[in-house]
Amino acid sequence: MSDMQNQKDKKLEALLQSRRFEPASPDLAERIVLQARGMPQNQKVSLAQWIRQLFAEFHLPRPAYVLAGALMFGIAVGLNAPLDTTPEEADSAYVQSFLYADEGLL
């Protein structure tokens, strides 16, 4: 690059560094703060935000793992439950005997 080109670059750089600037009013921050005091906040919460807040509330570090864990726990409890449920036939026999007993009363 020629010296002249270099000089032009430097001059342009200097021009850009010294662009015109007018400082802000000293009370700008104050004005913003005062204006905000009279303004209500928008408390509209989207569904996604609500779910995020809910998880934050319960401090679930990894919701996916916690939910999967809960599911596995449920399955394990279900599989370990004692099989003492009455068979369907026994159940229907019980219902019939109950009905006949009822008729006997009449």
Binding site for other proteins (CB under 8 A): 7-9, 11-12, 15-22, 24-25, 28-29, 31-33, 35-37, 39-42, 44-46, 49, 52
Shortest CB 52 distance to other proteins, Å = 8
CB closer to other proteins out of 7 and 92: 7
Shortest separation between residue 71's beta carbon and other proteins, angstroms: 25
The count of other CB atoms within 10 Å of the CB of residue 71 is 10
CA nearest neighbour of 51 among 60, 38, 42: 60
Which residues lie closer than 8 Å to 60 by C-beta, 6 or more apart? 66
Nearer to other proteins, 8 or 62 (CB): 8
Q: CA–CA distance from 65 to each of 56, 61, 62, 71 (Å)? A: 15, 9, 6, 10
Please state, in angstroms and rounded to a whole number, the distance separating the CA atoms of residues 52 and 90. 49
Nearer to other proteins, 7 or 86 (CB): 7
Nearer residue to other proteins within complex by CB, 3 or 103: 3
